[in-house]
């Protein structure tokens, strides 16, 4: 990361669509990435609040157990798209709770479209994140 003073990469955190969002309406995330964000505004809140740190997130990664499957592929997916989050990734280590162990979406004209997932000879699934320019997982 070129600018740690404006980069936020926390895990296990709530995301709020706007200041004052009641706790029950916040979404819990496993890992989020935001570049060029306001760190002071982020630290002053117990959630990443849009537009508090100045912008929507750049990418979200969910580590998904069966209990959250419908939420992660339904409500959260639609909510993230509505907030303008460019990428939404889901990882299910066993592959039992989703259609695949690794899946990702990219925001195209306000809707998520599936990201390409590679399976090299080593058997480790890989998806390329265009936003932070890294490979997932």
Per-residue pLDDT tens digits for 92-109: 877 665 667 888 999 999
Cα(61)–Cα(69) distance, rounded to whole angstroms? 13
The set of residues, in sequence order, having a beta carbon less than 8 Å from that of 113 and lying 6+ positions away, is 105, 106
Per-residue pLDDT tens digits for 65-93: 655 555 666 788 888 898 889 999 888 87
Domain coordinates in residue numbering, the chain: 4-136
CATH architecture for residues 4-136:
Alpha-Beta Complex (3.90)
Residue 95 three-state SS: coil
């Amino acid at each position: 990361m070129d600018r740690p003073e404006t980069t936020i990469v926390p895990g296990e955190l709530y995301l709020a669509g706007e200041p004052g969002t009641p706790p029950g309406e916040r979404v819990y995330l496993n890992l989020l990435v935001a570049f060029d964000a306001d760190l002071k505004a982020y630290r002053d809140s117990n959630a990443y609040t849009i537009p508090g740190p100045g912008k929507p997130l750049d990418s979200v990664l969910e580590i998904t157990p069966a209990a959250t499957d419908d939420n992660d592929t339904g409500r959260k997916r639609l909510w993230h798209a509505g907030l303008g989050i460019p990428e939404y990734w889901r990882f299910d280590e066993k592959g039992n709770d989703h259609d695949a162990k690794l899946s990702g979406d990219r925001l195209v004209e306000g809707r998520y479209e599936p990201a390409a997932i590679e399976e090299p000879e080593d058997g480790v699934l890989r998806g390329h994140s265009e936003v932070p320019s890294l490979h997932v997982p």
